[in-house]
Amino acid sequence: MAPQYASALGKRANCQTLVSVTLASNEVPAIVGLRLFLPESWTCDIARLDRAGVPEDIRDYRTKPEIALAEIDRVSAAGVRFGCVLADAGYGLSAPFRQGLSARGLTWAVGIALKQKVYPADVQMIFPVAKRGRPRQRHIPDTKSITAQAMLETAKWRKVSWRRGTTGTLSARFAARRVRIADDPPQRIRDMGAQHLPGEEVWVVGEHRSTGERKYYLSNLPAEASLKQLAGAIKARWICEQAHQQLKEELGLDHFEGRSRAGLHRHALMTMIAYAFLQSCRLKQAGGGKKNLRTATDTACRPHGTPENHSKTSTANMPTLREMCL
C-alpha cells in the first residue's frame, strides 16, 4: 500500500491500485486482466519489494498507461480481437499511451482534460521569416494551438441519445471537430516558448450533460464517423465501470488487506472467475444457450485501474468484440 489517488474515494488514500482490462459487448462485460500498479516509493525500496514478493522482472517503475499498453499486447498475443479501445482521462491525457495505441493500428476513444491543446486540422508547417540573425532551420505551425474547450466553443452542438436507461432514453448535447493533437515533440516557437507541435489528426468531442457537467474526449475514429457513432463509442465505457463497481461492492474485490503481491493477484483472480460465472448464469437465465451468448458478444468496452482502469475485446472462441476499455 501507498498514499495515492483512489478514484473510488475521489481523493488520495493509503490504497492499492490495479490496472484492469475489461472486454464488453452488448452490455456483457468480462474482466480479463487486473495488474498491480507499483508507485515509485515502492520500486525504489528493494527491501519492501522483497517482503511483498514482487518478481525481479517487474520491479522497474511503470506508469499506469505503460502497464495498460503491456496488457493490451498480452491479450492481443493470446488471440483476442477487438475494434476500439476506450479509456478514461487517466489514460487519455498520456500522449505516449495514445500514440502507442495508434502505432499498434488500434482505434481508440479516450477522455481528456478541457485544457488539452489541439490545432485546427488544416494547420500547416511553415518556415518562419527571420527579421534578423540566422535563417530559421525548423518548421513551425502557422497558427497557435488552443484548448479543446476553446476549439468547440463555436461548434454546432446537437442532442444525441445512445441507449435506454432505467429512467428512459439517455441523451446529452455533443459537438465534434477534426483537429491535430498538440503532442509531437516540443519546439520553441517565436516568443511563445516551447510548444508541442501538431501530431495525429483525430476528433475532439465535447459533451454537455443535463447536470451542467462538461466532458471532453479525443478519438481516432474515421473522419467520416457521425456524431452519433462518436457518442456511442465514448458512452460504451459505462458497462466497464458498472462491472468494476459490482466486483468491489458485490464480490469483495476491494476487501483485500494483505501486503503480498501474489495474495492480491490471487484474490483478484477469484473475483474475476466469480464474476465470469455469474455473467454466464445471467445469460442462461435470460434465455441462455450458445445462440444468445453469441448475440450478446458481437460488440464491446475499455482499460482501467482499481481503484479504477479497464479495456474491451473478444477472444478467439467468441465473436469479435467492437471495443476494448481501460
Across the chain, which has 326 residues, the per-10-residue mean pLDDT values are: 68 80 84 87 83 84 93 92 90 95 95 94 79 66 90 94 84 96 78 79 95 95 95 90 86 82 88 90 72 38 44 35 54
pLDDT at 66: 95
pLDDT at 167: 79
pLDDT at 213: 93
213 CB neighbour count, 10 Å cutoff: 9
CA dihedral 269, 274, 275, 281 (to 10 degrees): 150
110 in Cβ contact with 92 (< 8 Å): yes
Its pTM stands at 0.80
pLDDT at 230: 96
Strands, E, within 58-209: which ranges?
A: 84-87, 107-112, 117-120, 125-126, 140-141, 146-147, 158-165, 168-188, 194-208
Q: Is residue 195 helix, strand or coil?
A: strand
pLDDT at 316: 33
